[in-house]
Copies of this chain bind each other. A is one copy, B any other.
Amino acid sequence: MKLLEDRIRADGQVLDGQVLKLDSFLNHQIDVELLTELGREFYRLFQADGVTKLLTIEASGIAVACAAGQFFRVPVVFAKKSRGKNLTGEAYSSLVESFTHGCVNNISVSKSFLCPEDRVLLMDDFLANGAALRGLISLVEQAGATLVGAGVCVEKAFQPGGDELRAQGVRIESLARIKAMSPKTGVFFC
């Protein structure tokens, strides 16, 4: 998606260690109008698939999923990384290793919000090793729901997550796919 690629070129910062900082518009400061356009594009890609629920993971996935939710007009559910007093009763859960934070989170979703009749579209800001999407897929499977696919803003295509998940039959639509990047040369798209 040219709009997003142009913005990454203009405002993204490549740091050492394969880190791409998009925090001026995607995941710390948020350009709501840009996200609305990304949400519209996810809707165009998946509108024929009978999606009944958008599932993401806190925190930065929430803005992306809510932007798409305006068009899909279905509930957004976000998996929580820790269980507060509000998450009572039964929950589906799975372990997710965070590339960004260097830790393992036990993510969970209340059983009230995923059911066997649901057709679930996963949403996230980044796809790298695929750990977050795999954790969310596990929640969908535990609920007996149908996985429609995953909509991702930025895929680091030089990391294995996207290809591995596609090889398992998961439909993944990434709005920007990065072939290579470095602090010196910047970002190259697929």
Q: Chain A: residues with CB nearer than 8 A to chain B? A: 15, 17, 19, 21, 23-25, 27-33, 35-36, 58-60, 62-63, 65-67, 69-70, 73, 75-78, 80-82, 84-88, 98-102, 109-110, 112-113
Chain B residue nearest in CB terms to A81? B59
Do A86 and B23 form a contact, CB below 8 Å, given A29-B76, A32-B70, A59-B62?
yes
A100 and B102 alpha carbons, distance in the complex (Å): 24
A110 and B28 alpha carbons, distance in the complex (Å): 8
Point out the residues of chain B lying under 8 angstroms from A36, CB to CB: 70
Name the distance in Å between A93's Cβ and chain B's nearest Cβ: 13
A60 and B84 alpha carbons, distance in the complex (Å): 12
Name the distance in Å between A19's Cβ and chain B's nearest Cβ: 5
- Quick check: A77 and B29 within 8 Å, CB to CB? yes
Chain B residue nearest in CB terms to A113? B29
- Quick check: A30 and B66 within 8 Å, CB to CB? yes
28 sample A-B contacts, Cβ–Cβ < 8 Å, listed by A number: A15-B88, A17-B85, A19-B86, A23-B86, A23-B87, A23-B110, A24-B112, A24-B113, A25-B75, A27-B86, A28-B77, A28-B109, A29-B77, A30-B69, A30-B75, A30-B76, A31-B75, A35-B66, A36-B70, A59-B80, A60-B62, A62-B62, A62-B63, A62-B66, A63-B66, A82-B101, A85-B99, A85-B100
16 more A-B residue pairs beyond the given contacts A58-B59, A59-B78, A62-B63, with a C-beta to C-beta distance below 8 A? A19-B86, A23-B87, A24-B113, A28-B80, A28-B86, A28-B87, A28-B110, A29-B77, A29-B110, A29-B112, A30-B62, A32-B66, A35-B66, A59-B81, A66-B66, A84-B100
Do A84 and B98 form a contact, CB below 8 Å, given A78-B59, A113-B29?
yes
